[in-house]
């Protein structure tokens, strides 16, 4: 079983039902919908199709305080080309957010993750004049970065609000907030989500998000390291260590962490990745990512199925060398002590799998932190929890409403009958038993499956 999870962005190249089935069978663990492109009807169609194929997590990626360029037709620019940019759809070229007051003469503005660079030359009549530094094509809906500036644009757009309503109605598992700046952005989104149990993933894409990374991790259910935008907003050489730091912080807190952007970029047009891309995927796994994400590779690429196969094969090979990255600190928290003891037990004696009884998913998330190399069979009576857990490293979630009495034994037998466990397996069972306190682990039970079968038969 592959322990690292693969998220695929769905787009024109992968809308076909048969292609989605092949991607799933090749190793796709979750689906991302990028709401920068497409429309509500298309999103709803994708959601219903995915639900028909497999019970896997769906992530809806909303724009947030994201700035995009809007133009009628793609524009070829030369070095020295100057254009006027407005902030209304009536203009030939405009930005999707009004940042006129924030932008200063002399500021650098980058397009499409730095592929095109320009400089602000003039400002007048609520427009800015920019001059391009090199030849290229300015494309519609590509991201815009005003280097070194915090933009005072709303954290959510009107389209975001419509998408959030759809997410609530169709019970989407996660909403990813682009350009998260601080914990307040997360809390504002949480208020809009209301009583829904949709998880929030904070996309870290700029210096503001980095400055507030600790409170963001506390407020969100997960973090996405969006290296493309980070590499534009910050010096390129800083991104690898930022990636490692964010992943380490998320693991320590038991929060979902996703590494994204340009992982197998060349496979948009080629059936094989570069060696550098293969190494990049490998390093993201070795750093401790729960999940790695494909964007344009599966949304608009020529080889979406092959790309998933390649990423899965790299993951299976590399994750054999993933080890525990948690500091060995003593804790007064009983749940921490339980999960630490389970990991220690697995290191010192022969255990085949870890079976986790969980209502909220907490014990499974805490156990996943150790990157033990064992399959974590998370048995839960909640379908929503089951889907969410599917994104965590090494977690194999199972939906089963076990009787309260001897819950662990019933769960083991169920997994045996479903051929998840074999007779010869030795499992350690953990979770919370006979307690009303949420997110509380208090159980360690080691069981040989064959002994339990004999006991039951007698």
Work out whether strand 116-124 and strand 108-111 pair parallel, antiparallel, or are unpaired. Answer: antiparallel
pLDDT higher than 80, residue 456: no
Secondary structure of residue 187 in the 3-state scheme? helix
Mean pLDDT confidence for 53-58: 97
Tell me the residue ranges of DSSP E strands in 27-115.
Answer: 30-34, 58-62, 69-71, 75-77, 82-85, 93-95, 108-111
Closest by CA to 345, choosing from 204, 238, 446, 224, is 446
pLDDT higher than 90, residue 267: yes
Check: pTM over 0.75? Answer yes or no.
Answer: yes
pLDDT (tens digit per residue) in 223-252: 999 998 888 888 889 999 999 999 999 999
Token readout for 398 is 């199972």
Q: With contact defined as beta carbons under 8 Å apart, do 301 and 268 qualify?
A: yes
Query: If pLDDT is split at 50, 70 and 90, which confidence band does 404 have?
Result: confident
Q: Hey, which residues does 59 pair with through a beta bridge?
A: 32, 174
Mean pLDDT confidence for 313-341: 82
Q: With contact defined as beta carbons under 8 Å apart, do 250 and 257 qualify?
A: yes
Mean pLDDT confidence for 39-43: 95
More confident of the two residues 332 and 43? 43
Angle at 455 between CA 448 and CA 445, to 5 degrees: 40
Mean pLDDT confidence for 50-62: 96
Q: What pLDDT sits at residue 151?
A: 86
C-beta atoms surrounding 404 within 10 Å? 9
Q: What pLDDT sits at residue 232?
A: 84
Q: What pLDDT sits at residue 332?
A: 61
Q: Which residues neighbour 248 within 8 Å (Cβ) at sequence distance 6 or greater?
A: 287, 288, 325
pLDDT higher than 90, residue 420: yes
Domains and CATH numbers, the chain: 5-65+154-319 (3.20.20.60), 69-146 (2.40.33.10), 334-457 (3.40.1380.20)
Mean pLDDT confidence for 37-46: 94
pLDDT (tens digit per residue) in 167-216: 999 999 999 999 999 999 999 999 999 989 999 999 999 889 999 999 99
Report the C-alpha gap between 325 and 22 in whole angstroms: 34
Closest by CA to 206, choosing from 184, 189, 231, is 231
Displacement of CA 197 from its chain's centroid (Å): 17
| Residues designated catalytic | 32, 68, 203, 261
């Amino acid at each position: 079983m592959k322990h690292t999870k693969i998220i695929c962005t769905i787009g024109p190249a992968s809308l076909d039902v048969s292609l989605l089935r092949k991607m799933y069978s090749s190793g796709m663990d979750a689906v991302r919908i990028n709401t920068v492109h497409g429309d509500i009807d298309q999103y709803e169609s994708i959601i219903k199709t995915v639900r028909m194929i497999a019970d896997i997590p769906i992530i809806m990626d909303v724009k947030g305080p994201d700035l995009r360029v809007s133009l009628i037709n793609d524009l070829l620019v030369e070095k020295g080309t100057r254009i006027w940019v407005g902030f209304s759809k009536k203009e030939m070229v405009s930005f999707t957010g009004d940042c006129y007051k924030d932008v200063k003469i002399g500021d650098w503005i980058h397009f499409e993750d730095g592929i095109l660079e320009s400089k602000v030359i003039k400002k007048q009549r609520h427009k800015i004049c920019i001059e391009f530094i090199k030849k290229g094509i300015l494309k519609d809906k590509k991201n815009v970065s005003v280097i070194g500036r915090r933009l005072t644009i709303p954290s959510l757009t009107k389209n975001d609000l419509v998408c959030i309503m759809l997410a609530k109605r169709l019970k989407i598992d996660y909403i990813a907030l682009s350009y998260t700046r601080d914990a307040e952005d997360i809390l504002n989104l949480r208020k809009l989500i209301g009583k829904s149990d949709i998880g929030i993933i904070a996309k870290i894409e700029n210096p503001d998000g980095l400055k507030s990374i600790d409170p963001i991790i506390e407020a969100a259910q997960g973090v996405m390291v969006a290296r493309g935008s980070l590499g534009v907003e910050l010096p390129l050489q800083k991104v690898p260590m930022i990636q490692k730091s964010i992943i380490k912080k998320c693991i320590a807190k038991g929060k979902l962490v996703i590494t994204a952007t340009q992982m197998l970029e060349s496979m948009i047009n080629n059936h094989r990745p570069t060696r550098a891309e293969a190494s990049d995927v490998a390093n993201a796994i070795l750093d401790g990512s729960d999940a790695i994400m494909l964007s344009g590779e599966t949304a608009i690429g020529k080889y979406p199925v092959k790309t998933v196969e390649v990423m899965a094969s790299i993951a299976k090979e590399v994750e054999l060398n993933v080890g525990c990255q948690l500091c060995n600190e003593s804790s007064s928290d009983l749940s921490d002590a339980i999960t630490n003891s389970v990991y220690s037990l697995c290191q010192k004696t022969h255990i085949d799998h870890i079976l986790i009884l969980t209502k909220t998913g907490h014990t499974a998330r805490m156990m996943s932190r150790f990157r033990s190399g064992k399959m974590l069979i998370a048995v839960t009576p909640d379908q929503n929890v089951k889907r969410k857990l599917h994104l965590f490293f090494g977690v194999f979630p199972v939906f089963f409403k076990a009787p309260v009495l001897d819950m662990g034994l019933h769960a083991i037998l169920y997994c045996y009958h479903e051929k998840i466990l074999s007779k010869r397996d030795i499992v350690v069972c953990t979770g919370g038993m006979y307690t009303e306190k949420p997110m509380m682990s208090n159980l360690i039970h080691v069981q040989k499956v064959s002994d339990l079968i004999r006991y039951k038969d007698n």
